[in-house]
Copies of this chain bind each other. A is one copy, B any other.
């Protein structure tokens, strides 16, 4: 087992680069990448990093040279032979050859495209431009690099034993959460914490602790490298970038209204079973479900990623009932800002009524809250999103206006097209 505190103490980034593999990323990125590669490979996109926690002055904390080194290192990575074999030969969601030969050939030859980095006041402006299937792969490494470099800036000031105690406390904290989760009957939970993790080594420790502590209740990790190394299920389905880009490309309001369903129609062709999970909140869950075609009600489940999760799940249950589906056959995946108390609450409210699964992210892999003075290691809200597609701005509304993004005029247009009314504001912490 890795002695994380010592490695951190001694760390040389060449030994412990923040991102060590092209598959040190979320599984759904690879699934979506293949889908984009197949259906929209020529789309030109811009992705940008956005620090929603403006009180964290990233450019003051992180040296630009170090940031460039880490980003350059990611550009030097290519798929290793073992990684390629795993992607080509492993069974994902019960299916072999999930990744088709043409995609794998392209991926094997891939290097990530250039990045644009500029300091703007106390923040960095970090953007990626190019073809969608290439640029989209920057999201997860960019986020984990920024999050970890900010952590390293704090850790660098600490002594060897302070570090040992820091990790001792963080380990104890996670273990106490796991002991609580162990009490939930029929729990199904997975690691969704790659993007805002404390570090790779720490995420790996957290995953191994979940394996020992939860046994069968722990069903997998979204991190492909960890899934490969630890012989775990790689899990994840799809994300907002698909409807965001499809919508930006829509020629008129009618095409815009159809776009989120076009995404899922493409997905429907490619995937079945537990990969047929609706992500309904990009432009408001209520309207999305109201106007959804009937074939979508036949999908396996839904992922709730913004808004009040219990409300979202009740909305889904009512929708399934209204479409003649039995909610007990349906899967609801909760994945937004989870921690143990919320997991317990949702589990209690929904177990037995629907199939429930949890994608536990930042507060699994980066709960260093309260462990250093000034809470300087607390995770914060950093995202990397599609900003434009073929020159047109993208828009996201979600079920929480705090998470909305895009030009004001376009937000207004999307709200009209998608019939989005008043929304409840919820603080976004991670």
Residues of A within 8 A of B (CB): 1-3, 5-6, 9, 159-162, 164-165, 167-169, 171-172, 175, 208-209, 212-213
What is the CA–CA distance of A171 and B3 in the complex, to the nearest angstrom? 14
Q: How far is the CB of A182 from chain B (nearest CB, A)?
A: 12
Given contacts A1-B160, A161-B209, A168-B175, 16 further A-B contacts (CB under 8 A): A1-B3, A1-B5, A1-B9, A2-B3, A3-B6, A159-B212, A160-B208, A160-B212, A161-B175, A164-B171, A165-B172, A165-B175, A168-B168, A168-B169, A168-B172, A169-B172
Instruction: List the B side residues contacting A167 at CB < 8 Å.
Output: 168
Q: How far is the CB of A297 from chain B (nearest CB, A)?
A: 42
Instruction: List the B side residues contacting A213 at CB < 8 Å.
Output: 161
Contact across chains for B172 and A208 when beta carbons are under 8 A apart: no
Contact across chains for A208 and B168 when beta carbons are under 8 A apart: no
Instruction: List the B side residues contacting A2 at CB < 8 Å.
Output: 3
Q: How far is the CB of A388 from chain B (nearest CB, A)?
A: 45
**27 chain-A/chain-B pairs, Cβ below 8 angstroms:** A1-B3, A1-B6, A1-B9, A1-B160, A1-B164, A2-B3, A3-B3, A3-B6, A159-B212, A160-B208, A161-B175, A161-B209, A161-B212, A161-B213, A162-B212, A164-B171, A164-B175, A164-B209, A165-B171, A165-B172, A165-B175, A167-B168, A168-B168, A168-B169, A168-B171, A168-B175, A169-B172
- In chain B, what residue has the closest Cβ to A160? B212
Instruction: List the B side residues contacting A171 at CB < 8 Å.
Output: 164-165, 168
- In chain B, what residue has the closest Cβ to A3? B3
Closest 5 CB pairs of A and B: A168-B168, A3-B3, A161-B212, A165-B175, A168-B171
Q: How far is the CB of A168 from chain B (nearest CB, A)?
A: 4
Q: How far is the CB of A157 from chain B (nearest CB, A)?
A: 14
**Most B-side CB within 10 Å, residue of A9, A164, A167, A212:** A164
Instruction: List the B side residues contacting A164 at CB < 8 Å.
Output: 1, 171, 175, 209
Q: How far is the CB of A340 from chain B (nearest CB, A)?
A: 16
